[in-house]
Amino acid sequence: MGRSALIEATIAALCEVGYARTTTTEIVRRAGYTTGSLQHHFGAKEDLLLAVLDRLLDEYRAKYEAVAGLRTPLPDRCRSILNTLWEMYGSPRYTAMWELAIGTRGESRLHEVVRSHRAHTFAIFEQAWHSAFADISSNEERLSDLLHFSLTILRGFVLHTSTDRAVALKDYERQIRLLEKTLVGEFSELAAGSK
C-alpha cells in the first residue's frame, strides 16, 4: 500500500505543482508517510519517478490495447482508437508525464532515463497501432507516420487544454472528427494501394 500511495502522491504533485516543486518532502506530505518510508520503497527519487512512468504506462497500455484489437469498420475503429488515445492524453494524469519530460532537462542522467522510457512507450503504442490496422496495410512506415501525426495533434490539444480547458474541449469534438476523417481517408487510400 505504501508504494502505491507514494506513486499516486507523486503523480498528483507533478500535476498540481509541477516538477520543480515535487520534492520528496511534498511527496511524503501528500502520501502521509515519512522520508524513511520513501527511501524504504524507493532507493532514490529516480526510482520513484520511474515507478510513476511505469504506472502511467501500464494504465495507458491497458486502455489502448483493449481497442487496438478491434476489427470494426474503419470509421468506427478510428473513432474508438482516437477516443481512447484522448482519454489518455487528455487526462490530467498525462500532465505528470509532460512534467517529467520537460522538468528533468537540467538533470542529464535522469532526463536520459525519462527519454528512454518514453521511447519504450512509443514502441509499445506503435506495435499496438500496427496491429490495429494490419488488415488495412502492411506499410509500416506509413502506419507509423499516421500514428505520430495523430499523437502530435492530440498533444497539441493537451497544450491547448492547459491554457483554456473550456474552450479547448468545446473545439475538441469538431477537431477530433476532422482527424478521424483524415485517418479514414488515409487508411482507405492505403488499403486501395495494397490491392
- Indicate which CATH number applies to the domain containing 115: 1.10.357
Domain with 2, as residue range(s), is 1-43
Same domain, 4 and 95: no
Same domain, 20 and 62: no
Whole-number Cα distances in Å, 173 to 67, 165, 176: 20, 13, 5
Q: Give the pLDDT confidence of 139-164 residue by residue, as tens digits.
A: 999 999 999 999 999 888 877 766 66
Q: Which residue is it, cell 500511495?
A: 5
Residue type, 24: T
pLDDT number for residue 108:
94
d(CA 89, CA 159): 10
**Domain CATH number, residue 17:** 1.10.10.60
Q: Give the pLDDT confidence of 87-105 residue by residue, as tens digits.
A: 888 888 888 998 999 999 9
Kindly write down the DSSP assignment for every residue of 50-90, as one continuous string: HHHHHHHHHHHHHHHHHHHT--S-HHHHHHHHHHHHHHHHT
Across the chain, what does the average pLDDT equal?
89
Q: How confident is the model at residue 78 (pLDDT cuts 50, 70, 90)?
A: very high
Whole-number Cα distances in Å, 77 to 51, 125, 134, 148, 156: 32, 16, 12, 17, 22
Sign (positive or negative) of CA dihedral 107, 108, 113, 119: positive
Contact 144, 79 (CB under 8 A): no
Sign (positive or negative) of CA dihedral 153, 156, 162, 164: negative
- The number of distinct structural domains making up the chain is 2
Same domain, 88 and 165: yes
Same domain, 2 and 67: no
Whole-prediction pTM: 0.86
